[in-house]
Homo-oligomer: A and B are copies of this chain.
């Protein structure tokens, strides 16, 4: 039995759910609410971090442990890349999205606009939003550069870099903040990701009380 404790609009949860599907590994969903961990989740990870992956008797307490475990335990298809140089580039991009993009964009836009209100009943701070929009623009330029020269983010092959990038970008795309017209190569890459069967379920997820951007679920947008 394989269970993923996760939340639909947590990018780290999306990453592991997407990775599991790419590796064609079935799992049960245990839905959690960001910021309100269940007692079962806390018993598996006292810090209440999402996601937690349980695979038989093995417990992976966060996205880092989970993604590396999935690659160790289920090496086909290879998603961390072949060869040291490719693996370095995949992990560089994974940590860039998980750390820099997350704190600069998810936190300043998705948290500020959506979660801050839902969890703390507070209005967004316009200065933080302004900074978030500027950083999103800057970071999308990075994604554009990568996709201008590469078929996938790390190079020729689909990898955890694409999985992680799509997990983060799709949350921001749900609230309509990405101006895809300015980033044609990034858009082309994201079209390819959206058309992968493993990614489709995320396009049908709905966040209670928040309508998705009109193009969010469209494969060709």
Contact = CB atoms under 8 A, between A and B. Distances in A.
A182 to B, nearest CB: 21
A5 B37 CA distance: 39
A85 interface: yes
Given A47-B100, A100-B47, A88 B64 contact: no
A195 to B, nearest CB: 30
Interface residues of A, number: 20
Contacts of A88: 58-60, 65, 69
Number of copies of this protein chain within its complex: 2
Contacts of A84: 58, 69, 72-73
Interface string A81-115: 00011011001100100001000000000000000
Contacts of A85: 58
Nearest to A57: B85
B62 A95 contact: yes
A211 interface: no
B47 A65 contact: no
Nearest to A65: B91
A140 B116 CA distance: 33
A61 interface: yes
A97 to B, nearest CB: 12
A61 B87 CA distance: 12
Interface of A: 47, 58-62, 64-65, 68-69, 72-73, 84-85, 87-88, 91-92, 95, 100
